[in-house]
Each structure stands twice: as C-alpha cells, then as structure tokens.
Chain A
Amino acid sequence: MALKLPIFMDAQSTTPADPRVVDAMLPYFTEKFGHPASRNHPFGWEAEAAVDRAREQIGALIGARDPKEVIFTSGGTESINLAIKGVVEMYREKGNHIVTTAIEQRAGLDVCRRLERHGVEVTYVPVQPDGLVSVDEIRKAITDKTILISVMFANNEIGTIQDIAAIGKLAKEKGILFHTDATQAAGKIPINVESMGIDLLSCTAHLMYGPKGIGALYVRRRGPRVRIAPLIDGGGHERGMRSGTLPVPLIVGFGRAAEICREGMAEEGPRLARLRDRLQDAILSQVEEAFLNGHPERRLPHNLNISFAYVEGESVLMGLNKETALSSGSACTSSTLEPSYVIAALGASTELAHSSIRFSLHRFNTEEEVDCVAQRTIEVVQRLREMSPLYELAKEGVDIKSIQWKAE
C-alpha cells in the first residue's frame, strides 16, 4: 500500500476529528438546531438533552460524580483561564498565592504572569531532569496564603505524566484547591477526579479527535464545593460560570469524542505506545548523540521528544515537511523566538532545546508511517550534521563549551 504523504505526527498540537464524531455532530447544524436554553419548545429540549448527554460522556471520561460538574468553554485555554482567574477572584479573602510549575503550557504560565501584575503571588516549582515535579517541592512552596495548586497532568512537549494523585492528596491535606491542565492527558490515559483529588480540570475536544473550538472545565460540586467567578458575564449559562449560547454541534462532537476515547483507551494506549517505542528504538539505535527528553516511562503513550545534538530543530522540520508534520522546541518555530522553556527547564543545555523534535502519534497512524518517519528523520539529521560546524568541531575533539561564543 502506498503511503499517503504528508504523514501527520503532530497530534499534540491537534488531532483530526474522528469520522464517528463528525457523524454525531452533523444533525445538530441543521434539523436539530435548537438553543438548549429554550425551555418552552421541543427544539430547545432536544438541544438540551444532547448537551446533557455530552456532559455525561465527558464526565464519565474523567470520573466525575455528577455530569453537572462539567462546564463547557471555548477550549483548553479558556478553561485554564477560567479555573485560575475564577478561583483567585472568588477566594481573594482567603489568600493570594498560587503554586504551579515551570513547565505548564503557555496558557497556565501567562495567566499566572498576568495575575502577578495584579498582586497575586505565584511560585513556579522547578522540575527534575526527567520532567517530574517533586511533590515535596510543592509541599515546601505552600504558604498559609496558598489558595490554589495548578499542575498539568501531562506535558505537551515531553509527555511527562505528573503524580497527580499525590498532589491531589497533598492539596486535600492542606485544604487547598487543586487544578490540573489535562488538555494533553484527557482521553489518552485514565483520569479519575475522585480518586485523584482533583477539584478543577481543564480539557479540550480537539486533542481527543473532537472538533476545535470547544473545551470543558470540571468544577467539583461536593467535597469541597468549588466556586469560581466567571470571566464572561451574560445570560447565566453553565450555572453562571460561563455565559454564552452553547455551541451544540461542537458539544455533541466533544461528547462523542470523549466516549470513543474512553471505550477504546485500553486498546489504543498500548497500541500507540508500541508504535512510539518502535519509532524511538529506530531513531535512538541509528543516531548517535540523540537524547530522549522527559521521563522514559511516566509519559503519554503517543509522545516522543528527542534532541539531536549539533542540528537545529527547524532545519530538521524543513527537511521533512514534504513528508512529515512534526514540531520542534526550536526558537525558530515559536512565535516568541525563544527556544523551548520546557526542555530548558529540564536542565538541558539551551543548544539541545533548539535541537528538540516532538513526534506525537494519533489513532490513525500506522506502522508503515512510523518506519517512514524514522527513516527520513535519520537521513535528514545525518545530512544536516554533515553541514554542521558544531558536529565538525565535536568530531575533531573540540569541546564546544570551551569556545568563547559571541552571542548576537
């Protein structure tokens, strides 16, 4: 069978919608177009029932006790904003301190930076070289002013899965609310907000084969009852936490996507992990000085992040972009022109942050695609090394760190 190019292996940026998801959505654009808040006619009832069903499907994916704990938003970014800013505003009298990590995704970090300008204190707990946050470090960061611990479930670049249950337990012990950004983890690995002590959880549909433009925030209703101030005022939808007409087709798609993920997780996770391991083994066995970033075991099954010494990430992507869609932590691929702060936070040299490549697999990738991507990556890295002055210096036995580089 001929391979269809380009191969998409950037599934931590977004995923294709599953055709079953699209099928579920389509009727809700046309014949079932009602407004779920229309309480007095069948169009509204039909829409409300569809939204409630989606709430149940998403609630079931994360182990929520009550589907009403699921609040719809426009996506992961909004959920993270709503969770953190909503708690800070609502619990202002209790304290003004947040404990988070240095490797949260941009939304989490940027919300915290903005809040810092408004007098909130934030502690960014560093991560260990394997990407794990030490629960003890979180414990040490807690003060009597701490109102929220916000730690991502799994990292978007390196896939490292944090010890969420231990952090949840610590939060309960201290009586502090616990938010987790599960945008990358939800639908991929088991999550249970009850057993893990999660009070708020952000997730998004488009990373689990659902549509773009819809996300959810889980807000615990019992033990404790979490209250958050809304970001958007209006008609009081979503129990006053998020006003605005619910996008029913997107919500229906999100629900179906969550259901498919939950039902298939036990098969899909190990299958993607096997493909990922095949990719990893092929590359690491054939390329010298290629380094795995993140924790080798505690990571998402579909994530692989490798730094290739002596070559710059964007140039690797450029060599592959006709055949393969990947992503890099290189400064040249980011809007900020800064290299990956995640790889840098692991304590790796900045040079290796520029050299990191993320492969993220999805439901529809095949073994054949994995073999093609591995082969082409190896070829491109070798070609670029042949034209890299750093590789040449290293081959001559020169320690690159001993050279007095003049940074621009």
Chain B
Amino acid sequence: MAERITQPSSNAKPSPCGWSRMGRTVVSVWLIIHLTAVLVPPFSLQSTSPISPSPVADSLMRALRPYIDLLFLNHGYAFFAPDPGPSHLLRAKMEFDDGRQPLVLMFPDLKREQPRLLYHRHFMLSEQLHSQFVPPEPPEAIARQPAALESWQHGRLMYDLKWKSFENHLRSTYGASQVTLTRIEHRMIDVYEVEELHRRLDDRETYFNLSENAPGEELP
C-alpha cells in the first residue's frame, strides 16, 4: 500500500503508477469491500421499516458484520435527523446511611462537567440510556411473535444492565446507600412560546419525569 511511485513493485507488468496489475486488483477488491462496509450500515438504517428491514440491506449487513464491527463502521449518520428532538436527562437522588442529607444531582450539568466535551459525554450517557428504553413487560402486540419477543427480552436485558451500572457507579462514587434514578425529558419550545409567552428555555413546565413502565409515559 505504501509503495511510492519511485519504487515500483517487482511483480510483472508494472503500470505507470508503479503498481502491478495484481497489486491494483487486490487493492481494488479491498476498496470495493471497504466502501460497501461504509455504505451498508446507514443504508440498513434507512431501509428498515417498522415491519422489517430490506432483505438486501439485511443480507449485506450480515455478510459484512465482522468487518464493520472490527473497524467501528456501524453508524447511521443521522445527526439531528429525521427531526431535532427533546433532550433527555437523568436525575439521581442519593441517600446515605451516615446521617448525611440526601443529595440530588442532574446529569448532564454544565457547571459540574467541564470542559464542554466532558459535559457532552455525560449528556450522551443519559440520551443513550433513554434511547435504549424498553418497557419491563412486553407489549401485547408482540406476545405471540417469538422473534419480536426475543428482541424485547434482549433489549430489556441491555437496558437493565445499563441502569444498574449507572446506579452502582453513583453509589460507589458518592458513598450512597441508595440511589434512585429518574429519566427526565426536556421538551422542545416552539416559536410562539418564546415570542408571545416569553417562556424561558429552562421553564419548569418544560421538564417531565418519564415513567419506567411504558414508553413516552409521563409521571405527574
């Protein structure tokens, strides 16, 4: 790969660029595989409907999965898409056995987490925990679909795993005896609310506690 034009390969039929036909063929095959591996994950995301993924995208994804995973290429590139959405935060209430007052922290918190990149890491932790939410009971619609049920079980297992990891981390970091986590949605504010109602972005009414029982369900 790194041969320079001034050091042609020793294989037969060197081209003007200094690479043999065999060298160019091998590299060309790899280039096609690599570019397909770059293209397939976002294509697979785009071509997945609520019912099923495109068989073409699914087959390509299965075939290239080892290569895609090894090189960290499994991305959808859907930045602020399909639409910008609300933010999701995490409130942690820590209680202590040693008589200390309970401590309530929000994640992310720009005052506590600096520089901005460190804040963004905490923001992603709470956002991605929310995006992985799976209700504790399977929806009735999938109760008789083994594949969907299996997918729900796996999703719930992964969500629980993250949730418990977060609790353990906070328990050990703050020396708490009990940690209570709450997912919070900070809804978007439209133009009318800002222009006519003069609502601030951090208005209390724009924050909602999310239920752990059903997706999108809000707590009072």
Q: Do A and B come from one complex?
A: no
Residues of chain A at the chain B interface (Cβ within 8 Å): none
Q: Which B residues form the contact surface with A (CB < 8 A)?
A: none
